[in-house]
């Protein structure tokens, strides 16, 4: 007996030793040498598989510029431990944390929510009452309520029932389209999406300027914006400027001035919960009290192209009423990881934080466009920033609204032609460009063809616009809101007759001068 005990002890020691060998201790230099492999988003977001952003990317064919990965697991904190959230039918039936009875209850609820609009009687009296009361009435156990409120509907216990049902339905409808969870992650990060929109914009003549910021607006004496001056001192002529509220000097007296998003970014040496697979993890840490805010956690590793092998990037996001991210998020960091201050503890399974960053930003995502642009010169459009929503629903809605203001009646991001479908006509003459429809033909640099450079009757997206600000005013704003550009650029397309067949068919939707008076 004694012998057995000793053997066991020895075994344990050996295991610990082996563990110590297995667990890599990262040095700052090793991390730094791999800097290129880190892709860290300031405002990471997920796409609902059947959400507005996916629809937009597919419809416009911008999706071809990016690759995605399904979020592979949803976790929540239950009794101080990280547990899987059962969200699909198969999850529900295989879940260990849900009893037979609960499984039936949850399945019935899911069936109901998918068709709740047709079954108004079932929630009539609860429409505006807290969601938790409705779930109580359906006799959901507290475990189930926890899953449903925090991880599936992603609302709070006090959210009005109808609103919560809508949110839950949105989630459920996104299941099973691309994977087992409702979400997609953009490989290399959310920062890929603006690049994809920029590429599409560029293909149709839009210009983006990396490493350049807008420093000043040029405003005429009727308080209408006529252009801007960039960080290189160049004047850019434009009729519209779209910018984030953080660029404005107005402070929107009193409106949402106490709304912030608290953020933390951690680089860790292992996942928050061991798994056989490389996971893309979305975790909700419910608030300690119902009135407080949950912390949403996204953990991505090298298969999501966020970090080098053996490391993970962990994003924490929480709504807040003060710009104090560390206070807001430290409890969550300590729940998930080993102490920030202490050395690596080999006996502890939790990840070790190798690097961390805390920051806050103002959340004006709920403000209307009218409130946001109050006090701005004409032609200036102000966006509310990323906020702390999980998905891009609000961003897409706001982009469409602004597009509608600038290009009333135009189609928002129509499908681009497939490059493989573009047919180049062999020109009949030697110089296909020498038709009297100049269009883009003269779009060359000053040094090449100065005398011809402004003879075109169409818009010219050339350097002239950048250096001189004369009559014409190419309305190119170097903002990431590429959406605006796409419609605009195509408005000049009918000149470009010899170029393509398909491009033309699109261009006709945007008549020449959609932008002009």
Partner 1 sequence: MSQQKPNMAEKREHLYKVLVIGDLGVGKTSVIKRYVHQFFSQHYRATIGVDFALKVINWDSDTLIRLQLWDIAGQERFGNMTRVYYKEAVGCFIVFDVTRVSTFEAVSKWKNDLDAKVQLPDGSKIPCVLLANKCDQSKEGLVNNSSQMDEYCKDKGFIGWYETSAKENINIDEAARFLVSSILDNDKAASHDDREQDNDKLALDSTESGEGRGKGSCC
- Binders of partner 1 among residues 200 to 219 (CB under 8 A) are 202-205, 207-212
What is the C-alpha separation between 419 and 5, in angstroms, rounded?
71
Which one among 104, 115, 326, 434 touches partner 1, defined by CB under 8 A? 434
Q: How far is the CB of 473 from partner 1 (least distance, A)?
A: 18
Q: Binding segment for partner 1 among 137-145, 166-174, 246-254, 495-503 (CB under 8 A)?
A: 495-503
Which one among 242, 243, 489, 515 touches partner 1, defined by CB under 8 A? 489
Q: Of 141 and 497, which CB lies nearer to partner 1 in the complex structure?
A: 497
Positions in 96-155 near partner 1 (CB under 8 A): none
Asked if 404 is part of the footprint of partner 1 (rule: CB under 8 A), the reply reads no
Which one among 106, 198, 325, 388 touches partner 1, defined by CB under 8 A? 198
298 three-state secondary structure:
strand
What is the C-alpha separation between 335 and 314, in angstroms, rounded?
13
Which one among 42, 43, 61, 335 touches partner 1, defined by CB under 8 A? 61
Which one among 40, 42, 70, 229 touches partner 1, defined by CB under 8 A? 70
Give the largest Cα separation in the chain, rounded: 100
Please name the residue ranges forming H helices in 154-285.
161-173, 192-203
Q: Binding segment for partner 1 among 69-77, 256-264, 322-330, 337-345 (CB under 8 A)?
A: 69-77
Positions in 449-468 near partner 1 (CB under 8 A): 449, 461-463, 466
339 three-state secondary structure:
coil
The tokens describing 87, both together, are 């969200």
Which one among 31, 74, 113, 184 touches partner 1, defined by CB under 8 A? 184
157 three-state secondary structure:
coil
Q: Of 170 and 440, which CB lies nearer to partner 1 in the complex structure?
A: 440
What is the C-alpha separation between 168 and 295, in angstroms, rounded?
18
Asked if 187 is part of the footprint of partner 1 (rule: CB under 8 A), the reply reads yes
What is the C-alpha separation between 40 and 58, in angstroms, rounded?
25
| Bridge partners (DSSP) listed for residue 112 | none
Handedness of CA 135, 141, 147, 152 (dihedral sign): negative
What is the C-alpha separation between 380 and 324, in angstroms, rounded?
31
Number of residues located near partner 1, criterion CB under 8 A: 74
Q: How far is the CB of 198 from partner 1 (least distance, A)?
A: 6
Q: Of 222 and 431, which CB lies nearer to partner 1 in the complex structure?
A: 431
Asked if 400 is part of the footprint of partner 1 (rule: CB under 8 A), the reply reads no
Asked if 182 is part of the footprint of partner 1 (rule: CB under 8 A), the reply reads no
What is the C-alpha separation between 393 and 61, in angstroms, rounded?
18
The tokens describing 513, both together, are 């001068």
- Cα separation values, 384 from 245, 260, 325, 395, Å: 6, 12, 20, 9
Asked if 52 is part of the footprint of partner 1 (rule: CB under 8 A), the reply reads no
Asked if 307 is part of the footprint of partner 1 (rule: CB under 8 A), the reply reads no
Asked if 29 is part of the footprint of partner 1 (rule: CB under 8 A), the reply reads no
Which one among 26, 48, 68, 312 touches partner 1, defined by CB under 8 A? 68
123 three-state secondary structure:
coil
């Amino acid at each position: 007996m004694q012998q057995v005990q000793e053997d066991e002890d020895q075994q344990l020691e050996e295991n610990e030793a082996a563990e110590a060998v297995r667990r890599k201790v990262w040095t700052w230099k090793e991390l730094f040498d791999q800097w290129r492999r880190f892709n860290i988003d300031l405002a990471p977001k997920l796409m609902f598989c059947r959400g507005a952003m996916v629809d937009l990317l597919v419809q416009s064919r911008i999706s071809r510029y990016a690759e995605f990965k399904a979020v592979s697991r949803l976790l929540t904190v239950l009794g101080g431990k990280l547990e899987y959230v059962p969200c699909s039918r198969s999850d529900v039936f295989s879940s260990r944390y849900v009893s037979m009875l609960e499984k039936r209850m949850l399945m019935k609820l899911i069936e109901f929510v998918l068709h709740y609009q047709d079954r108004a009687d079932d929630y009539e009296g609860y429409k505006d009452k807290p969601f938790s009361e409705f779930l109580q009435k359906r006799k959901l156990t507290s475990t189930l309520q926890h899953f449903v409120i925090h991880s599936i509907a992603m609302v709070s216990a006090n959210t009005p029932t109808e609103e919560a049902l809508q949110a839950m339905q949105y989630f459920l409808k996104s299941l099973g389209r691309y994977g087992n969870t409702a979400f997609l992650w953009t490989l290399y990060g959310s920062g890929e999406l603006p690049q994809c929109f920029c590429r599409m914009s560029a293909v149709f003549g839009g210009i983006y300027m990396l490493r350049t910021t807008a420093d000043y607006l040029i405003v005429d004496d009727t308080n209408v914006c006529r252009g801007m001056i960039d960080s290189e001192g160049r004047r850019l002529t434009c009729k519209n400027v779209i910018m984030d509220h953080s660029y404005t000097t107005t402070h929107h007296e009193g409106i949402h001035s106490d709304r912030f998003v608290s953020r933390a970014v951690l680089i860790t040496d292992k996942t928050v919960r061991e798994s056989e697979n490389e996971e893309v993890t979305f975790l909700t840490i419910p608030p300690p009290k119902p009135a407080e805010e949950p912390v949403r956690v996204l953990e991505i590793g090298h298969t999501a192209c966020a970090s080098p092998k053996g490391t993970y990037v962990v994003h924490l996001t929480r709504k807040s009423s003060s710009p104090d991210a560390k206070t807001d998020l430290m409890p969550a960091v300590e729940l998930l990881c080993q102490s920030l201050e202490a050395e690596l503890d080999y006996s502890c399974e939790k990840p070790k934080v190798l690097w961390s960053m805390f920051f806050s930003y103002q959340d004006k995502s709920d403000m209307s466009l009218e409130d946001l642009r109050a006090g701005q010169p004409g032609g200036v459009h102000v966006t509310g920033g990323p906020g702390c929503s999980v998905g891009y629903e609000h961003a897409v809605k706001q982009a469409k609204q602004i597009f509608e203001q600038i290009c009333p009646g135009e189609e928002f991001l129509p499908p681009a032609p497939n490059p493989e479908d573009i047919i180049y006509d062999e020109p009949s003459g030697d110089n296909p460009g020498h038709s009297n429809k100049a269009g883009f033909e003269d779009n060359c640099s000053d040094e090449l063809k100065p005398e011809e450079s402004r003879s075109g009757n169409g818009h010219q997206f050339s350097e002239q616009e950048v250096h001189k600000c004369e009559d014409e005013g190419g309305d190119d704003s170097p903002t990431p809101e590429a959406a605006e550009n796409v419609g605009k650029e195509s408005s000049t397309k009918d000149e470009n007759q010899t170029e393509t067949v398909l491009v033309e068919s699109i261009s006709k939707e945007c008549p020449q001068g959609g932008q002009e008076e």
